[in-house]
Every structure is written in C-alpha cells, then in structure tokens.
Structure 1
Amino acid sequence: MKFGQGFEAALARDEYPREWIDHAISYKKLKKCIKRVQQELASLGLDKETLDALWQHVNTGATEVGGQLGERLQYSVDGNEKLIFTPKLTIVIDPRDGSPMDAWLSPDTRRILKRLAKTEDGRRPSVATVNEIVPDGQDQQLETVEVPLTSDSEFFQILTRELSDLDHLQNSERSQLEVEIAQLGRELRALRSSRSKRSKKEIEAWRTIFELYTDAEVFMSSHEADAGARDAAHAQKQYAEFNKALAAHQNQIIQLGKEGNSALDRFLRVNIKLLRLIKFQEINHMALNKILKKFDKRTALRARSSVSNTLTQSPLMAQNLAKATCFTISEELLNIIPQLNDYLCPVCFSISYKPIRLRCGHIFCIRCMVVLQREEQDRCPMCREGVVLDASSDNLDKDLMKFMEKNFKVAVRTKQKENEIQAGIDRWGAQYENAQKCIVM
C-alpha cells in the first residue's frame, strides 16, 4: 500500500475526531503541487536529470568566492513572520554570454539561462534578481540569477499553513488535558484533607492506582535501554499492561466510591486521549517527512536542507507532547498522594523507617545503619563519603518519621515487626525467629 493510502486509512481507522482529520497534512494535495513544480522546472529546462547533474558538479567543483566556498547552484526558501515562502533557484552565470559556469547543463538550459541573464534589448528580466560575484584572483565577473518558482511557493504555503493549524490544534488539546488533570488534582486534594474513614480507604486505593501507573511507565521509560519518551505503539502496550494490573488489584480499587470511580474513569480517558494525540502527531510527522522526501526526489531541489530550520520551529516537529503532559500529571496528581517507592531504603528496599539522615543527606532505615556500623563500614552506600560511623540518634529525621507513620501505616507496621524480629535474633540467636512461630494450644 502506498503511503498516501495508508495515511488516509490510519486517519479513518483510529477514530480521530473530525476536527483532527480536517487539520491533518493534505498529503495528496501536496503531491499534486509537486507535479506542478516539476512542470515549471521543465519549462525552464531544469528537469530532474539536469539538476542532479548540476548538484553533482557543485559538490565536486565548488569555487572560492569572496574568501568563502561559493556554490554555483543554490536553492533557498525565504519566509517572513506570516510564513509566506518565496523559493528561489540561484545559478552562477558568465555575464559575457549568459552561459552558466557549469559544463553539465543541457543546451536547452543554457539557452533559457542566457535569456534570463540578458534580454535582447540589454535589460535585465523582471523575473530574476541578478547579483555580481567577483572571485578572488580572477579578472572576470560572474553573476547570479535568482529564479522565483511559483509552484514552490504554493507548496510551501500550503505546508506551513497546515503545520500552523496542527500546532494550534495540538496546543488546544493539550490545554484541555491540563484543565482536566488540574480538576482531578483539586478533587484528590479535597479527599486528602478529609478525615473520614471512607476518605482514608479511597486514598489507599488511589495510592495503589498511582503505584501501578508509575510502575507501568506508560509514556516515559526510565530504563537505560530505552530511556525517554515512548512512541505511540509502545505507550499503547504499556497502557494495556496498566489496565491488566488494575484488574488484578480490583479488591483495593473497589474501595473507591461513586465519585472516586468517576474520577478514575476521567483519569483513564486523559491517558487514552494523550495516546491518540501522540499517535496523531506521529503520523503527521511521518507525512511531513515523506512529502519533503518526495519533493526532493521528484524535483532534485534539495528542499529539506533549506527549510529544516523553519519547520523544526513547529511544535509538531519539536515539542515532546508525552513528556510535557506526563510532567503535568506528575505535578498535579501523583505528587498529591505520596508513593511508598519514593521512601524506600536504598540498601534493603523496604520503607526507610526509622529514617536516619546522614551528614551527606542520604537517608537509610535505622536497621541498615546498625548493620553498617556493626561491620565498621564508614562509607555511605550512595555517595561513598565517610559519614556512617558518625551517625547517632541525633540523625533520626523525626519529621519524616511522622510523615511515614501517617501515610504508610501498613508498611511501617510491617517494618517495625521485622526490626523487632531482627533485634531478637541479634540478642538470642537464629532460634528466636522460629520461636515467634510457636503456637500455644
């Protein structure tokens, strides 16, 4: 299947809103513009084969002009703030007879360029801008002819207008997502401020949801092999994994009430919409690259190198939608309900209770600090600074300990029990652990 057909099929298949489809890059329309560019170039004697030969000669035989490397053929795209493009083809010619300074051009091209360089009555033509170039060490003067290309202007005006529309659409949809995320954040903050038993159960349910969501890394990966934003296909796969995990933890999530389930549904819809936006961005990005590649292939004008700076200023090309929105989700939602993973001891990977803050700033659970000091290991496991043996009861972070007791009651009770058993083993030996399992009949 050709790309144009596949592009239209993808737009229809993925059930994008009509407004999105109307703003997509008009690939077929731009292809027709390319045909008109080909016809215009052919009328000037600059068909693809001629330009290919000229570019080849330029690459192998450039001359020094004004102390810099001067090209005998250039293709440039001028644009103002309104993105109105005026493409020009510039060729160096010999003013004595109007012939281009290149032996590879066809006779038809030479005749046309001669007419462009000088008309029969001795005046310069209005369709071309002529500038003089005086190469170092040469007596003769060379001149440049700039040929405005009408069909190119149409092509780039359509393309830049559509990119501008896509940018506006993307910014609008992203703003809507941010509004929805902010509203969810306000509801979660209100839930946290409540002291009812029901709200505490719902907070624990949301903690589970956000823990599963963070572990799934739907849109952003922290793994070294594929760190960074995921493409739409991988994000879709990770979102499916997140939904499976939600189903497996239904017993905890069932604690959400009617309003909580409504909020969860909206949270899931935010993710689905973001997935569609990323996919829509990707296929339009691909369409843009494909049409520019086709333009260069059909015309040999090498437009991509001329317009790359202008196009990369477009948010469609430069903005990482997933990264920006994930930051908003993290700031507005995930940070409201503390996650246990953010308070784990980096040695035993359980909650850092009771938290010992070393002089270097790193935090460990008291049990791991006792073990390190007993083994006379002075270096911090994180930064290797010699601070462990200096730690004492004064290093206990009491505020953080209260925070953990308030937000992670189950994990704290579990850790306390483990610490008690380990302390008994230290005092009475390994048989102490087995003694805890004895049952009195």
Structure 2
Amino acid sequence: MKFGQDYEAALARGEYPPNWVDSAISYKKLKKCIKRVQRELLGLGLDKDTLDALWQHVDSGAGNPFGEGLLHYSLDGNDYSFTPRLTIVVDPRDGSPMDAWLSPETRRNLLRLARNSRANVSTARAWPESVDGRARDWAPAETRGSEPEGDSAAADPDPDQDQDQDQVQTVEIPLTSDSEFFQILRRELSDLDHLQEAEQTRLREEIVKLGNELRVVKASKSKRSKEEVDAWRQILELYSDAEVFASSHEVDAGARDAAHAQKQFQEFSQALSLQQRAGFKLGKGATMALDRFLRINVKLLRLLRFQEINRTALHKIMKKFDKRTALHARSHVSTALVKSPFIAQDLAKATCFTISEEILKIIPQLNDYLCPICFSISYKPVRLRCKHVFCIRCLVVLQREGRDHCPLCREDVVLEATSENLDRELMKFLKANFKGAVKQKQRDNEIQAAIDRWGAQYENAQKCTVM
C-alpha cells in the first residue's frame, strides 16, 4: 500500500480529533500541485532528464567558469513568507542561456524568456577573461550555432551589449505552481505550529490541575494521606525508571519514537498494576490525580504519533517533489520548512520537563537527594564552596584522609569545610519529606561512629541476639 493511502487511513481512523485532522499536511493536494509544476516545466522544455543533466553539470563544475550560478533554485523571503525562484545564467551579449547541455528547443524557450525579461535581469559576476584580455566565449560554438534563424544575436542585437560585455546576468524562469505548492505547505506547517501551541497549553493546564490535586492529598494530616504520598512517590519512581519518552542509556540515549514510547508506557502501566495489587491503595483524591496523570501521558503519546506521521508526510512529499520535477528543492529550501516548531521540537521532552517541574516540587524523589559517595540520603547535608552536596559522614571521612579535592569537580574545597557549610534548609526539607530514610541514615551514622571509636568488634556485637 502506498504511503498516501496509509496516511489518509491513519487520519481517518478516528484516533485524532477533527481539528487535528484539519491541520494535517494535505498530501493529496500537494501531489496535484507537483503535477502542475511538471506540466509547467515541460512547457518550457525543462523535462526531468534535462534538469537532471543541468544539475549534474552544475554540481560537477566541469567546464563551468561560474560554478553553481548557472542554475539555482531557492526561496526568497523570510521563514513565514517566501517565494520560490528558479534562475539561470545568460550571456549578456545575446541573452542566450549559457549551458551546452540544453536541447535546441529548450534553448529557444529560455532565450525567449530571457529576452522578455531583459528589464529584470540581474548582474551575477564578472565575465572570465581569456589570456589576451577578451571575453571568453564559454558556450561551445556548436551550441551557439544551433540556435534557429531569427533568434541569433546578429538578428536581434542587444543595445546594452557593449557595456555588459564583461558581466554575466541571471534571468528568473517564471513558475506559478511551485509557488502554490510551497504556500500550501508553509500554511499547513503554520497551522500545525498553532495546533501544537494550543495542545501544549492544554497539557500545561492539565499538569497544573494534577499538581493542585496532589497538593490537596499532601496537605491532609491523616495517616492515609502519608500512605498516599508514599504511594505516589513509588508511582513517580516507576515512571522515571520506565523512561517512557526519553532514554538515558548509552545504547539508545535520547528521545524515543512513538512506537517505543508506547511500549515503555505499557511496561509502566503493567508495573503500576502489580504495585496496586501488592498492597498500596489510593483514596478518591489520589486516584483522580492518577487518572489525570495517565490521561496526560496518553494524549502526549497521541500527539507524538500525529507529529511523526506529519513529519513523514513532509519528507515524502518533498522527496516526491524532487523526484518528479528535478528542482532539487529539498537541498535548497528544506531549512525554510523544517524550522517549523511542530516538525523540529521535541514535544514529549518539553512536556515531561513541565511535569517534573510541577510534580517533583510537591512529591520529591529520594534519588534526587542521594550522597554521590555512599548513595544513601545526604543527611546531614554539607554544601561545599563548589556547591556540591555530600552527607556529613562521607565528608568527615574525606577530611580524615586529607583529601582536599571535591569528588565531583576536583576543586580544592573539602578541607576548608566547617559546620558553617551545613545546609540547614536542605536538612529540614529532607527530614520533612523522607522521615524513614533520615532515621535509617541517622542509625547507620551512629553505628559507624561507634565502630570508629570501639573498633570492628562493636559491629559484631550488634549482630548478637538473645535466645
């Protein structure tokens, strides 16, 4: 099945809202525009084979003293309003196209266009001179001689020939269908940008509502509230481990495509179901928050799939444009199109960042507050001059061993640390949000301090049991 049929079927399945479908790239309409561009070019004698030969000649630079200037396709204007232009270099002495690869019919058509456009030609660059200082007759003699009678320079002399003798000029080949093609494409990409902005605004609003619901759950002083906050902490830990929309692993680091993200989300959902069956239960408010959290992810997955099929449609239609017209549009105009935020921006990454910013302030994760040496909670936290934080126990060990380098940045800041470096605000925060982990760390520190004082036998004594 062709891509066009797959694309139309994907839009018609009902997965996407009607306003999304209306904003999608109109693949069929753009294909019809390509056919009109083909007909225009054929009317000028610029069939695909002729243009392919011209581009090959331009790219190779063989026998071409002007490099790529002989034929050029570009977009004039800015990112939001532009006009495609196909230009060709002409000989200012007679207005004839300067290329030996053109057929007589094509040369006649372009010569007529050049002469009709003499008022609009633009100077391109200096005419290369031969050894004796006279202008070089670059176009082969047999090509010049092939022009039909009545089209020669002698029959229609250019009054400005003498003053233009040392310059070459470019003439624009007027095309209308390619302008229509790119105007439609630019308008639809703009519609997709607006759609993305609207959907991201809605997602942000949903995330704010989710945050408010979790604040209500956390604000309650009941024992049930504490259990629900702990349950939500487990949920967020499962979600972080699943890495639904982006991977931090070396093998596949970076944003995930829609299919892989869907697979990771299913794994998260399965792990969540197992946790729920294992015992943790949520009250009405916490359950509503979980439902909203899942809906946000489902919508984000759908938006990611919609972005991908439109990105593929853009790639396919530009590839078809080049294949059918041989205008090399992708290499010349793609930068003006892919600047579209809908095509270029990582939607999932931006939304996940918003979730982290909003939710983790309410329900912080223990993994974000671990000491980078012992990998347990950084209690009591000591913030060095380099701003890195370690638990007090690990810092004391570093100072006793006389190591002055920060383990993370290697700056000499360890030995200068005193009780003034204790981050009391962070210590208060950790005690309020991770009571269990803090108590365990305090107990571990006490045991380690006793071992330092009494020796290893103290640790063995802790293992004794009374029968």
Equivalent residues in 2 for 1:107-118 (5 A)? Answer: 107-118=104-115
3-state SS of 1:249 partner: helix
CA distance in 2, matches of 1:361, 1:86: 53
* Structure 2: gaps of 5 or more residues: 130-134, 136-164
3-state SS of 2:15 partner: coil
Whether the 8 Å contact between 2:218 and 2:225 is mirrored in structure 1 is yes
Matched, 1:50 2:39: no
Q: TM-score, normalised by structure 2?
A: 0.84
Matched, 1:378 2:376: no
Whether the 8 Å contact between 1:58 and 1:72 is mirrored in structure 2 is yes
> Kindly tell me: are residues 299 and 200 of structure 1, through their superposed partners in 2, closer, same or farther at Cα, counting changes over 3 Å?
same
Equivalent residues in 2 for 1:87-106 (5 A)? Answer: 87-106=84-103
> Kindly tell me: are residues 112 and 80 of structure 1, through their superposed partners in 2, closer, same or farther at Cα, counting changes over 3 Å?
same
The structure 2 residue matched to 1:146, chosen from 150, 166, 172, is: 172
Which shifted more, 405-414 or 237-246? 237-246
- Shift, 1:9, TM fit: 3.6
Instruction: Provide, for residues 179-213 of structure 1, a one-character-per-residue CA deviation record: whole Å limited to 9, x for no partner.
Output: 11111122223333333333222222222222222
CA distance in 2, matches of 1:273, 1:161: 25
Equivalent residues in 2 for 1:16-415 (5 A)? Answer: 16-59=16-59, 60-61=61-62, 71-79=69-77, 83=81, 86-118=83-115, 124=116, 129-133=120-124, 135-136=126-127, 137=129, 138=135, 139=165, 142-250=168-276, 254-415=280-441
Whether the 8 Å contact between 2:24 and 2:188 is mirrored in structure 1 is yes
Which shifted more, 267-276 or 252-261? 252-261
> Kindly tell me: are residues 132 and 351 of structure 1, through their superposed partners in 2, closer, same or farther at Cα, counting changes over 3 Å?
closer
CA distance in 1, matches of 2:183, 2:282: 53
3-state SS of 2:121 partner: strand
3-state SS of 1:386 partner: coil
Which shifted more, 338-347 or 153-162? 153-162
CA distance in 2, matches of 1:81, 1:213: 39
- Shift, 1:300, TM fit: 0.8
Instruction: Provide, for residues 315-363 of structure 1, a one-character-per-residue CA deviation record: whole Å limited to 9, x for no partner.
Output: 1223221222122111122222221111111111001112223343322
3-state SS of 1:88 partner: strand
Whether the 8 Å contact between 2:213 and 2:285 is mirrored in structure 1 is no
> Kindly tell me: are residues 57 and 354 of structure 1, through their superposed partners in 2, closer, same or farther at Cα, counting changes over 3 Å?
same
CA distance in 2, matches of 1:141, 1:392: 78
- Shift, 1:141, TM fit: 5.1
- Opposite residue 294 of structure 1, the aligned amino acid is K
Whether the 8 Å contact between 1:129 and 1:147 is mirrored in structure 2 is no
* Structure 1: gaps of 5 or more residues: 119-123
Instruction: Provide, for residues 383-425 of structure 1, a one-character-per-residue CA deviation record: whole Å limited to 9, x for no partner.
Output: 2233334444444333322221111011112212222332333
CA distance in 2, matches of 1:99, 1:416: 89
CA distance in 2, matches of 1:419, 1:80: 64
Q: TM-score, normalised by structure 1?
A: 0.88
> Kindly tell me: are residues 281 and 409 of structure 1, through their superposed partners in 2, closer, same or farther at Cα, counting changes over 3 Å?
same
Whether the 8 Å contact between 2:190 and 2:340 is mirrored in structure 1 is yes
Instruction: Provide, for residues 252-281 of structure 1, a one-character-per-residue CA deviation record: whole Å limited to 9, x for no partner.
Output: 883421121011111111011111111211
> Kindly tell me: are residues 358 and 153 of structure 1, through their superposed partners in 2, closer, same or farther at Cα, counting changes over 3 Å?
closer
CA distance in 1, matches of 2:268, 2:320: 40
Instruction: Provide, for residues 346-381 of structure 1, a one-character-per-residue CA deviation record: whole Å limited to 9, x for no partner.
Output: 111001112223343322222222333343333222
Which shifted more, 326-335 or 132-141? 132-141
> Kindly tell me: are residues 428 and 32 of structure 1, through their superposed partners in 2, closer, same or farther at Cα, counting changes over 3 Å?
same
Instruction: Provide, for residues 69-99 of structure 1, a one-character-per-residue CA deviation record: whole Å limited to 9, x for no partner.
Output: 661111233357863x543321222355543
Whether the 8 Å contact between 1:98 and 1:114 is mirrored in structure 2 is yes
CA distance in 2, matches of 1:103, 1:253: 82
Q: Which residue of 2 aligns with 1:121?
A: none
> Kindly tell me: are residues 14 and 354 of structure 1, through their superposed partners in 2, closer, same or farther at Cα, counting changes over 3 Å?
farther
- Opposite residue 200 of structure 1, the aligned amino acid is K
Instruction: Provide, for residues 80-132 of structure 1, a one-character-per-residue CA deviation record: whole Å limited to 9, x for no partner.
Output: 7863x5433212223555431111001110121222233xxxxx269x94345
Question: Which structure has the higher relative contact order (CA within 8 Å, separation 6+)?
Answer: 2
- Opposite residue 135 of structure 1, the aligned amino acid is A
- Opposite residue 300 of structure 1, the aligned amino acid is A
CA distance in 2, matches of 1:320, 1:24: 18
* Number of positions where the alignment pairs a residue of Structure 1 with one of Structure 2: 431
- Shift, 1:35, TM fit: 1.7
Whether the 8 Å contact between 1:41 and 1:47 is mirrored in structure 2 is yes
Whether the 8 Å contact between 1:355 and 1:366 is mirrored in structure 2 is yes
Whether the 8 Å contact between 1:87 and 1:148 is mirrored in structure 2 is no
> Kindly tell me: are residues 417 and 12 of structure 1, through their superposed partners in 2, closer, same or farther at Cα, counting changes over 3 Å?
farther
- Shift, 1:148, TM fit: 1.7
- Shift, 1:239, TM fit: 1.7
CA distance in 2, matches of 1:367, 1:82: 59
